[in-house]
Amino acid sequence: MLPLSYSVRNVALRPLRSLLSVAVIALVVVACSLFLGLISSLRRSFISSGDPMNLVVLRKGSDNDGASQLTREAAASLHYLDGIAHNAEDVPLFSPELVVQPFLQTRNGGRENVLVRGVEPIALEVHTGVRVVEGRMFRPRLHEVIVGKAMVGRYEGAFLGGELHLGRGRWKVVGIFDAAGSSLESEVWADVEELAEDSRRPTPYSGVRLRAASGAELDRLKAHIDADPEYALEASREVEYYAKQSETANSLYILVVAIAVLAGVGAGFGSANTMYAAVQSRTAEIGTLRALGFSRGAILTSFEVEALTLSLAGFLSGVVLSLLLAAALRRVQGGIAFTSSTFTTNLVTLSIGVGDLAQACGLAVLIGLLGGLGPAYRAARLRPIEALRKA
């Protein structure tokens, strides 16, 4: 067996050419991990919005808050159902909500549809991940709102003490809330009664969120609501509801995998080129090694290791580059805007996770293995006599 250092030092022997191959692989890794990071961030922003103990109740057939309408009576019919969890003051954790999608001016002069959720103060206890981190919760009837963290800086007036022009009115921002990076951070929360009045909706609510006392109660509540003939409602687990919202991420994922594989194969060709040249320029050396008694397998392995060294170096520099790029993007652009199924803007903070890097690493290793295979095979097949004669 040839020592590992032989392969590694051979890489350093032709610095410029190795550097180019490393750069190619690094760039592929950057492209791949940026995209994968974006998609997993998008997915995470939805998935983390749901709580396993919560139910979303909408009108039957509606697949999101924005497309559902609920009357006051329908909401009231659910308020005191058995099995709903209660807080310390014995108030049911039951949040009737109205979702509207008005325009909001962005600071660069455009405007975007944003999701405004009309709630009652109890909503802070039903949506477990939401915490007001600056200022305070809005007080009903005063045209006050709280805004999600991701919106700050992107929209005109979206800061503590600012004023938002939403719908027909002007609303004072009295608080900023954090929702652990979930899509709720791209929302504005206002008093549900005021919002219904402002948007002149024929029905005051679009849906209800409620928290079950236990897992068994959750199943029972869901069955009970789905079966109720009077109001034609449909309860879904909040987690599943948001998982469905993240389906856009899946078709993007197909796109990204296709891109990554294409780019990876291209880089593999480039890496094969470099390795072929290495084999060619070391023909005499390989002949000598074979004459010394190193087996074909040893030569094959040593060239594969060389190719892998290249791709690992590429992967490592790619990781550093992509993490830097992601940080720069976060700083310059803030969240990256996606349109969600409610036609509103979901701001996703790009972060590249370990899982994304692992996938990029897999790609880099694949490039190395496939790119090195042909050249290594050629090197191993060289007949020692001919190889030496050529020298």
Interacting residues with other proteins (CB under 8 A): 16-17, 20-21, 23-24, 27-28, 30-31, 34-35, 38, 59, 61-63, 66-69, 100-103, 110-113, 166-168, 199-200, 248, 250-252, 254-255, 259, 262-263, 265-267, 269-270, 272-274, 276-277, 329, 333, 335-339, 343, 345
- How many Cα atoms occupy the beta-carbon half-sphere of 339 within 13 Å? 4
CB of 290 to other proteins, least distance (A): 22
> Rounded to an integer, what distance in angstroms lies between the CA atom of residue 311 and that of residue 306?
9
Q: Which is nearer to other proteins, 35 or 177 (CB)?
A: 35
Residue spans of beta strands (DSSP E) within 92-191: 94-100, 103-105, 111-113, 115-119, 131-135, 144-148, 163-166, 169-178, 187-191
Q: Which is nearer to other proteins, 139 or 168 (CB)?
A: 168
CB of 190 to other proteins, least distance (A): 13
CB of 111 to other proteins, least distance (A): 7
Q: Which is nearer to other proteins, 83 or 236 (CB)?
A: 236
Q: Pick the closest to residue 289 from 280, 297, 299 (CA basis).
A: 299
234: left (phi over 0), alpha (psi -120 to 50) or beta: beta
CB of 238 to other proteins, least distance (A): 19
> Rounded to an integer, what distance in angstroms lies between the CA atom of residue 246 and that of residue 371?
36
> Rounded to an integer, what distance in angstroms lies between the CA atom of residue 367 and that of residue 44?
29
CB of 131 to other proteins, least distance (A): 26
Burial class of residue 69, CB neighbours in 10 A (0-12, 13-18, 19+): middle
CB of 94 to other proteins, least distance (A): 23
> Rounded to an integer, what distance in angstroms lies between the CA atom of residue 265 and that of residue 35?
17
